[in-house]
Structure 1
Amino acid sequence: MNQRQGGDAGDRGGTGAVGTDDTADTAGEQVGAIGRKAGRGLRWSLLGNLGTKVTTFVMGLVLARLLVPEDFGLYAIALAATTFVMHVNDVGIIAATVQWRGRVEEMAPTATVMALAFSTGIYGIFWVVAPYFAELAGSAEATPVVRLLTAIILIDGVTAVRAGSLMRGFGHDRLTKANIAGSLVNAAVAVTLAANGAGAYSFACGQVAANTVTGALVLAWAGLPFRLGFDREVAVRLLRFGAPLALGLGIEAVLMNADYVIVGAVLGPAALGFYLLAFNVSSWVPSVIGTALRYVTVPSFSRLAEQRPESLSLGVQRSVPLLVAFVLPVAVVTATLAPEIVAFLYGEKWAPAAGVLALLAVLLVVRMLTSLAFDILTSAGATRATVWMNLGWAVALVPALWAGTHWYGIRGAAIGHALAGLLIALPMAVLMLSRAGVRLAPVLPALVRPLLGAALAAVVTMTLAGMTGGPPLVRLCVAGSGGLLAYVLLAVPAARLRELGARAVPARAR
């Protein structure tokens, strides 16, 4: 039951096509069985993420009217630090629990000790370096906010193994309820503090309260006794899998937060506040759909990887076209109607964020696809490949962000982010998946119609937006609906549309 490493996965590169019909049938049955479990988990995850994001969205609308851009900028600096430490603090223990080959009860005591130790140690380090990090980001006054917000990793250290156990068993209904409860607490605390003049501390205190409530519920509902112990062999296996994964996730955190540090250092907290708002809007789909997918893709693809290589490839070939078909129209509407989205939701004082949002729509697609690739590689045990994939992206991204921000302000930062993702991250993801033995060639024909539909939708949306007058909401409804309709008519096959139409019409009584 040894952990499969990146080299093992790479050795499967020559598996090629499925050899026999019987094998294909078996692989298809395995994909279908696990897919049904994943589908149930995904429905709960989507429900939970949607509920959480709706709450966060409403909270953001309220806070945008109670706070000023500088407050958002200070929070962005603390968020950048927190995102990084949250990715590395448990050394991949959650994913290792999901992917563990064997009984979770055997590894849980050791994994719990490791998660607690690493979380506490990393928090101690960040407490010390917080002033230097805040100064690097251009706002020394963010130091106490950084120290407060990063405290949530202590809670994560306590709950890591239990959260992984719930995901492993597709217990997403309980995770969903815990997350929704936390989001409601977050909104209540943050809005109350903001109304009483707490500024950037509103975000931090709300998040700490939310994680406390969510963590308590996860501990109560996981059904896994909280025991401490240490087994050297188990620890080695966990580190062999988790350490490269944590490094890859740490680089991923740098990728998603380096822009906050660079924009804050070059342009100051007010400009960073506009950038943060645009980035948050562009992150709605990756946050809602991407996070929900991550809850189920890792356990699903892990179970497929345990069977035979063709099962994993078949699962990927079915997943990628569906993801692309869903994400592209959202990106098109976000890019073409960015001014209307910002004006309608947040008001004219946030107008500088619109140009950034339009450019970050490209990054929206890249993030969804690279996140899926990361999860597939993790499930296959190829955690070293995740490091190389994200490292290549980071090496290109940091100078692109720095040059773009100096050249064209917050829009330049968005351009640098989008180009690095499109030209470096996506090719790296394809390369690493191919080296892990995942056959991607059969995916290409299924992408033609969605890409053509996205191009048509962009033309239709821009045309209708230019022809439609009135307030932003009217242009959003008219142009957005027209663009989405054009996309569906071209991207979805006619037979599929007829099938969906037949399901929508109630069967007549015989």
Structure 2
Amino acid sequence: MDRVRDAEQQVGSLGKLAGRGLGWGLLGNLVTKAGSFVLSLILARTLLPADFGVYAVALAATAFVMSVKDLGIMAATMQWRGRLEEMAPTATVLSFVSATALYGVFWVTAPAFAELSGTPQATPVIRLLTAIILVEGFTAVRSAALIRRFEQDRLTLAIGAGFLVNAVLAVVLAVNGAGPYSFAVGQLAQSVVTGVIVFVAARLPVRLGLDRGVAARLLRFGVPSAAGIGLETILLNAGYIVVGAILKDETWIGYYLLAFNMSSWVPGLIGQAVRNVTIPGFSRLAEHTPEALSEGVRRATPLLLGAILPIAVVMSILAHPLVLFVYGEPWNQAAGVLRWLAVMMVIRMLLGLALDILTGQGDTRATAWMNLAYGIVLVPALIVGTHLQGIRGTAIGQVVAALFVALPVAAYFLHRAGVRLAPVLPGLVRPLLAAGVAAAVTAFVDRLVAEHPLLELLLAGSAGLIVYVALAVPPARLRRLGHLRRKEVG
């Protein structure tokens, strides 16, 4: 009993610190994602779907190299047991050397990657956009130090400043006919500006060195972590490659990219902010007792699922009016894909949480095996789905593989790592039932106002969200919130 009470106190104390970091992370993501949304609207009405397709191929390459650029040194820094000043010189050298070597490999192999994706004209864009890792490789340890100390406010300001530069450059270049290069140049400039600010804000001594003992510890943790995250990124972006290789038309890749970007609104908004506190948070809990870690998982999982389910329901049911209203008739082909990728959005968040738990616990090899097992099933599912139903089939294949393979495998590795999952299940029942009812209500109201996209979004979307909140949030909590609100007003 004492150990359980101690675990609850540890979780509560760490939760306050992590809550501050999460708040800043969410604020920063909200501002940058809102800006990215406006930017995407401008570019979608300035550029062609084919331009988005070329950029999608370059983005898939960049997403992969970004995930493995530093051999997992950034994750190792967040989880490091000891003083950062002692390991930072070695970690910085390892990170920059690995990023430089990886960039050299991708410079040489960019033509083959573009050809494999069915978009050979993407080669120079790939080479330009992947140059981001040269900046990230040198600043990764500094970014990890800010995250480890829950100083997301400094990181948020750095990212915001970089995004302003990105937005101005991208729009100017797009208007002047730069096509997919407008994305690449803008993002590279953002990386440089953000990197400079992070380097100064981290307040770590500017020293380089190579301690073999420190390097060995970092690599033992980091390499499996990089392998797991790299596989995760490949699997997440495999849809672009399969669509390009089978359909051989960058326009279809552009439709798929748009739907994928829309399904990434919420993971992009809260996913990275959550990851920036869960990895160091679960790492600290794992240092105490298994009960503390399991208690943290029991509290975190229902909160994460409850926050994302209502958005996924509305996005899936109202995919067509959402695409039509936001991007216009030319992009209507993306709606059928979005309907399924909205479901995938929920699974992505749960899988990401599982990876963070295992990484925080130090079991990085499990993350690699988990994603490898998922990939063995995912790739055939994507190929079969694309052949049968085009880009819609690609999305369906991704959902099927994730639901029936990735989630069970993740649960197995968490159980093997000593995380008790049974106490988590009761907290999931209420939001799942509420989501089912909300989906039915949203679909019913949508039929009443069909053919009017704005009304569908306003009326059907609002009805679904209201029903979800009414059913998912316990009455006692609603009364408590109402009481607090009345006290503030009084």
The percent of aligned pairs where both chains have the same amino acid is 60
Q: C-alpha separation between the residues in 1 aligned to 2:384 and 2:163? A: 37
Corresponding position of 1:115: 95
Is it true that 1:494 corresponds to 2:483 in the alignment?
no
The more displaced of 363-372 and 177-186 is 177-186
Corresponding position of 1:35: 15
- SS of the equivalent of 1:505 reads helix
Letter in 1 for 2:197: L
CA drift at 1:299: 0.8
Is it true that 1:199 corresponds to 2:179 in the alignment?
yes
Letter in 2 for 1:26: D
1:366 to 347, 357, 361: 347
Q: C-alpha separation between the residues in 1 aligned to 2:478 and 2:223? A: 46
Letter in 1 for 2:300: S
1:87 to 41, 45, 67: 67
Corresponding position of 1:386: 367
Q: Describe how 1:279-358 pairs up with structure 2 within 5 A.
A: 279-358=260-339
Q: C-alpha separation between the residues in 2 aligned to 1:410 and 1:450? A: 30
Q: CA RMSD in A?
A: 1.0
TM-score (norm 2): 0.99
C-alpha distance 495-417 of structure 1, shift in aligned 2 (>3 A): same
Q: Describe how 1:230-309 pairs up with structure 2 within 5 A.
A: 230-267=210-247, 268-309=249-290
Corresponding position of 1:146: 126
* Count of residues in Structure 1 that have an aligned counterpart in Structure 2: 489
Cα deviation 1:313-362 (Å, max 9, x = unaligned):
10000000111111111110010000111011100110000010001111
Is it true that 1:224 corresponds to 2:208 in the alignment?
no
Letter in 1 for 2:257: L
- SS of the equivalent of 1:451 reads helix
Corresponding position of 1:173: 153
Q: C-alpha separation between the residues in 2 aligned to 1:508 and 1:295? A: 34
1:48 to 25, 28, 38: 28
- SS of the equivalent of 1:199 reads coil
Cα deviation 1:153-172 (Å, max 9, x = unaligned):
00011101101111111110
Letter in 2 for 1:53: K
Q: C-alpha separation between the residues in 1 aligned to 2:370 and 2:408? A: 9
CA drift at 1:288: 0.8
Letter in 2 for 1:432: F
Cα deviation 1:447-501 (Å, max 9, x = unaligned):
1111110010000000001002563122101001101111111111111111122
- SS of the equivalent of 1:197 reads coil
Corresponding position of 1:412: 393
C-alpha distance 402-304 of structure 1, shift in aligned 2 (>3 A): same
Letter in 1 for 2:270: I
Q: C-alpha separation between the residues in 2 aligned to 1:207 and 1:459? A: 40
Corresponding position of 1:468: 449
Letter in 1 for 2:208: L
- SS of the equivalent of 1:24 reads helix
Select the structure with the greater relative contact order (CA < 8 A; seq sep ≥ 6). 1
Letter in 1 for 2:382: L
Q: C-alpha separation between the residues in 1 aligned to 2:239 and 2:295? A: 36
CA drift at 1:395: 0.9
Unaligned runs of at least 5 residues, structure 1: 1-20
Corresponding position of 1:434: 415
CA drift at 1:298: 0.6
Letter in 1 for 2:315: T
Corresponding position of 1:8: none
Q: C-alpha separation between the residues in 2 aligned to 1:371 and 1:507? A: 37
Q: C-alpha separation between the residues in 1 aligned to 2:340 and 2:280? A: 33
CA drift at 1:505: 2.3
Corresponding position of 1:13: none
Cα deviation 1:1-46 (Å, max 9, x = unaligned):
xxxxxxxxxxxxxxxxxxxx22222111111111100000000000
Is it true that 1:482 corresponds to 2:463 in the alignment?
yes
Is it true that 1:125 corresponds to 2:105 in the alignment?
yes
CA drift at 1:99: 0.3
Is it true that 1:105 corresponds to 2:85 in the alignment?
yes
Q: C-alpha separation between the residues in 2 aligned to 1:504 and 1:281? A: 33
Q: C-alpha separation between the residues in 1 aligned to 2:404 and 2:482? A: 39
The runs of at least 4 consecutive aligned structure 1 residues that moved more than 4 Å come to none
Letter in 2 for 1:76: A
Corresponding position of 1:96: 76
Q: C-alpha separation between the residues in 2 aligned to 1:395 and 1:434? A: 22
Is it true that 1:60 corresponds to 2:40 in the alignment?
yes
- SS of the equivalent of 1:314 reads helix
